[in-house]
Amino acid sequence: MKNTPFDLTGKVAIVTGSSRGIGRSSAELLAKLGAKVVVSSRKVDACKEVADGINASGGDATVIPCNIARKAEVEALVAGTIKHYGKIDILVCNAAVNPYYGPLLDITDEAFDKIMGSNVKSNIWLSALAIPQMAERGNGSVIIISSIGGLRGSTVIGAYGISKAADFALCRSLAGEWGPKGVRVNCIAPGLVKTDFARALWEDEANLKRRTATTPLRRIGEPDEIAGAVAYLASDASSFMTGQTIVIDGGVTTAAT
């Protein structure tokens, strides 16, 4: 892939929540394109499996576990990456939680705070630690994995949707603040993707049937189909793009009702 705008040789990437699903696919693709990748999630063993696979394929990956809801662990993730690889060029904020499924007005304070802390505040923490050193070099890319849940209302995952809408606003504001220093910040909003995180939605046959019937492509997505957009936003191919959200949902948000 050398001499293409997608070549990531010499770049260093952190991908949170990268032991499975979209995060794993993203970490593996970034490594294939030449990036050195920090694989991170709460479970060390699961991360090690991903990193071992990348290294066995000729890539360069290391593991730094992190629960993104804990500031000290987020600080350790960034500090550990800089210690190991010397810098951070690409930050993929992928890890998220959704501990509540039901009517919005019935959610407990604890569950709401957990959603907002993990899905929004952690992205601010990560950005605050990673962006300044990107700005010093005049180049960097932050990619926040949001969701079409931030674009639409929901009767069962409303709080999650609020957090993902907040990520859109976070992206736009950071893009404005750090664009003059050469740092780009963008979001990706996937639709329903076949991941463990969304298992409750796609394992429900009735729900899956309804969703695919109203999706122009008549199917749900696969993690690899989101990873391609991560690679685009991480690379020079998207060098004039910032503050934007790429929707990847099989067309469901455009479909006639």
Phi, psi of 216, deg, nearest 5:
-50, -40
3-state SS, residue 66: coil
**Segment-wise mean pLDDT, segments of 10 residues, the chain, 257 residues:** 86 97 97 98 97 98 98 98 98 96 97 98 98 98 97 94 98 98 98 76 75 90 96 98 97 84
Tokens 């910032």 correspond to 242
Residue 38 corresponds to which amino acid? V
Our answer to whether residue 160 is catalytic in this structure is: yes
Phi, psi of 215, deg, nearest 5:
-100, 125
Residue from 85, 100, 160, 232 carrying the catalytic annotation: 160
The pLDDT of residue 202 is 58
Cα 30–Cα 164–Cα 70 angle in degrees, nearest 5: 75
**Assigned token pair, 254:** 């455009």
CATH number of 12-195+223-246: 3.40.50.720
Phi, psi of 6, deg, nearest 5:
-95, -5
